[in-house]
Amino acid sequence: MASRAKSRNAPVGHSPFEVAGERLPREKFSDPLVTADGSERAVVGLHKLETLWFATGTLCNLACANCYIESSPTNDALVYISAADVARFLEEIAGQGVREIGFTGGEPFMNPGIIAMIEDALSRGHEVLVLSNAMKPMRRHEAELLRLRESYRGKLTIRVSIDHHTQAVHEAERGPGSWQPMLEGMRWLSTNGFSLAAAGRSLAGETQEQALNAYRLLFDAEGIALDTADPARLVLFPEMDDEADIAEITTECWDILGKSPRDVMCSASRMVVHRKGEPSPRVVACTLLPYDPEFDLGDTVEEARRDVPLNHPHCARFCVLGGASCSA
Ligand code: SF4
Ligand code: SF4
């Protein structure tokens, strides 16, 4: 954080990379205010806090090869957030018009306090979105989920992540035996009238249209009621190579790309994380960057309302250039 504050306060034209008017080579994504070629870096302000996410913890029943947060049955880098901590943040945002509370993991249903947290958010009038793989951890909570669905009707949505519309690709990433339980979990949600969504991936070789069609055929064949034409119900993320080089985003990019800072997740959301070894949860800019100190914005939502310089490859790859705007 110290280096960020220093750069923020550095007068224009006197960055640490400039000596006697000569620009030294600098690495990409190293200065929050200026890109490697000296352009002004794009910054996103919090336009309106629509969604407050909680990272429930990194533990997961799966260990997917492409998990961006490296969740697994043993990774507890983000510890289970407690229901008391969630309540404290919900208290803080009371009356501020935050529409939605999101829970993401790891697998949220592995957190022992998940039902209490969901219910707390629902009872305060928020919509709730839970990102799950719909496997055994979720199925252990069937009775409580049915009770919540009954009490809060369409206010609780469960979004199931699917790696691909084919079993072979899905299991190549998620492990053998992960396909059928996921479909059974989705079918249970669908049959029992839950508000159901899915997040899938499209591969580099297939068009968005082909992928959408294939997901539609899959859900139809499996008896899963999900409107694949509704982008809020089926979110498709493109396949990304996160090792590949990527351009930095400058203030000029918005016009060039025909995009607005308001299209980016950090203009409308924040995420609360509890990192192992830290005494209490912190608020970070978005669901994609739970560990990077530059994107740690403070102890409270209020503190975290400040601008976010897009100083990470994920900003360019996933949000601005890649078109994906969310995690899991
Ligand atoms: S991608 Fe989702 S299901 Fe897979 S390990 Fe990560 S959190 Fe778990
Ligand atoms: S990764 Fe995306 S949402 Fe996160 S800070 Fe960067 S632009 Fe914002």
Query: Which domains are delineated in the chain?
Result: 45-320 (3.20.20.70)
Q: Report the pLDDT value the prediction gives residue 18, as an integer from 0 to 100.
A: 36
Q: Select the highest-mean-pLDDT range: 13-17, 22-26, 64-68.
A: 64-68
Please tell me the distance between residue 163's alpha carbon and the centre of ligand 1 in angstroms.
10
Q: What is the pLDDT of residues 237-295, one digit of tens each?
A: 887 777 788 899 999 999 998 899 999 999 999 999 999 999 999 999 999 999 999 99
Probe ligand 2: pick from 270, 284, 292, 318, max atoms within 8 Å of CB? 318
Give the type of residue at 268.
Answer: A
Distances (CA, A) of 202 to 71, 214, 326: 21, 10, 15
In sequence order, the 6+-apart residues with CB closer than 8 A to the CB of 167 are: 179
Among 90-99, 117-126, 228-237, where is mean pLDDT lowest?
A: 228-237
User: Does 133 contact ligand 1 (Cβ within 6 A)?
Assistant: yes
Adjacent-strand bridge partners of 236: 200
Name 159's bridge partners.
131, 197
Residue 191 host element (H or E):
helix 179-191
Closest ligand relative to 131 C-alpha: 1
Structure tokens, 306: 């400040």
Q: What is the pLDDT of residue 9?
A: 26
Report how far residue 316's alpha carbon sits from residue 273's, in angstroms, rounded to the nearest whole number: 23
Closest atom of ligand 2 to 249 CA is: 7
Number of Cβ atoms within 10 Å of the Cβ of 288: 24
Could you tell me if the CB of 137 is within 6 A of ligand 1?
no
Task: State mean pLDDT over 88-108.
Answer: 97
**271 C-beta neighbours (distance < 10 Å), count:** 27
Q: Whose CA is nearest to atom 1 of ligand 2?
A: 315
Q: Provide the whole-model pTM.
A: 0.90
Per-residue pLDDT, 26: 64
Q: Which of 43, 237, 289, 294 to mutate to test the pocket of ligand 2 (most atoms within 8 A of CB)?
A: 289
Ligand 1 atom showing the smallest separation from residue 72 Cα? 5
Find out whether the beta carbon of 71 lies less than 6 Å from any atom of ligand 1. Answer: yes
Q: What is the DSSP letter of 155?
A: G
